[in-house]
Amino acid sequence: MNSLPIISVVLCTYNNADSLAITLEQISNQKLPDHSLVEVLVIDNNSPDHTRAVVDKISYNSNVVMHYFFEARQGLSHARNTGVEKAVGEYILFTDDDADIPQHWIAAYLEKIATLKPDCLYSKINIIWDKPTPWWYTNRFRPCFVGLDYGENVLEVDNINQEFFGKNFCLRKDLLLVYGGFDPALGRNGNRLIAGEETLIYRNLVKERRRIFYFPDAPVGHRLKAREYEESNIRKQFIDSAYSSYHLAQLTARKKVFGRPLGVLLESVKVVTFSFLSLCKYSFIKNRQEMFFHKINLKRSLTLIKLWMKSE
């Protein structure tokens, strides 16, 4: 028996207790060679619902050790940093309260850790459509639903174009600590649909040429909430992403003007022009789906320009 687990599963949750119960049941019933290889940490990010009761009930009968922690500071990055702090495993495996977890999920990660000795490891995320896809949906919105599939082969990743998402990735804890954890200015915060909390970490891994692997053998599903089928939600999510994009650009840009990232301004002006012309075109031919996309793309880019102008 190991004195410390190899993997600490960190699951951060906010006000989604019923879905959390499904995910925790799936995690507690994992098929593992040795249950001492794993611990599970549930970080309750100030949920007003019955999250604590769900965790207490499932952890009592769980096949794996399960811990509950409360993080009052609102924001996914705060919750994840608490999970990193409390975890004792060599690797931290992240997932969410709306993930659908197969029984071999953790075992697949353990096997790849043993054979590849990675710094970072991640796998597929499949979108679970339990209702017809919305009329406005195209694959351009796939990242908003954290769908991820880079194929059926193991890939050693060495570029910034094959980023992982927080629902299904694993990273050495010591590296997370070196990077200072997750930036609290990024990530979901209550009802603010901001993303990008993994991006800085991913780019640091690529920049330092760390051992990053994608493998297809540990897929999870993304169970959609009812609101994720709504126009208003994707509109808000798409436009809110401007805030994380600007913050990332401010931190990573090589060229700046007046201390502001030049690239994000130039790209936003280009997108405004393109989307405005496209909106005119698709309005004329009455293509509702394309009109919807270019309208919110235009608003997102105008938001980025506004952020650039107001930045200090």
Entry pTM: 0.90
Give CA–CA dist 155/87, Å, rounded: 28
Which two structure tokens, joined as six digits, stand for 300?
A: 């997102």
Residue 311: pLDDT over 80: no
Taking the CA of residue 134 as centre, how many other CA atoms within 13 Å lie in the half-sphere pointing to its CB?
A: 22
Tell me, what's the pLDDT at 200? 85
State the alpha helices, DSSP H only, in 87-180.
105-116, 173-178
Q: Read off the DSSP letter of residue 122.
A: E
The answer to whether 60 and 25 have CB atoms below 8 angstroms apart is no
Give CA–CA dist 38/19, Å, rounded: 22
pLDDT bucket at 196, cuts 50 / 70 / 90: low
Q: What is the mean pLDDT of residues 11-15?
A: 95
Which tens digit of pLDDT belongs to each residue from 249-290?
Answer: 888 778 888 888 999 999 999 999 999 999 999 999 999 999
Q: 265-281 as b/e, with b when 16 or more CB fall inside 10 Å? A: beebeebbeebbebbee
Residue 312: pLDDT over 70: no
Give CA–CA dist 157/50, Å, rounded: 40
Partners of 260 in the β-ladder: 257
Cα–Cα–Cα angle for 66, 71, 77, rounded to 5 degrees: 100
Q: Locate the domains of the chain by residue range.
A: 7-226, 253-310
Q: 118-140 as b/e, with b when 16 or more CB fall inside 10 Å? A: bbbbbbbbebeeeeeebebbeee
Which tens digit of pLDDT belongs to each residue from 98-155?
Answer: 999 999 999 999 999 999 999 999 999 999 999 999 999 999 999 889 999 999 999 9
Fold of 7-226: Spore Coat Polysaccharide Biosynthesis Protein SpsA; Chain A (3.90.550)
Which tens digit of pLDDT belongs to each residue from 20-47?
Answer: 999 999 999 999 989 999 999 999 999 9
pLDDT bucket at 194, cuts 50 / 70 / 90: low
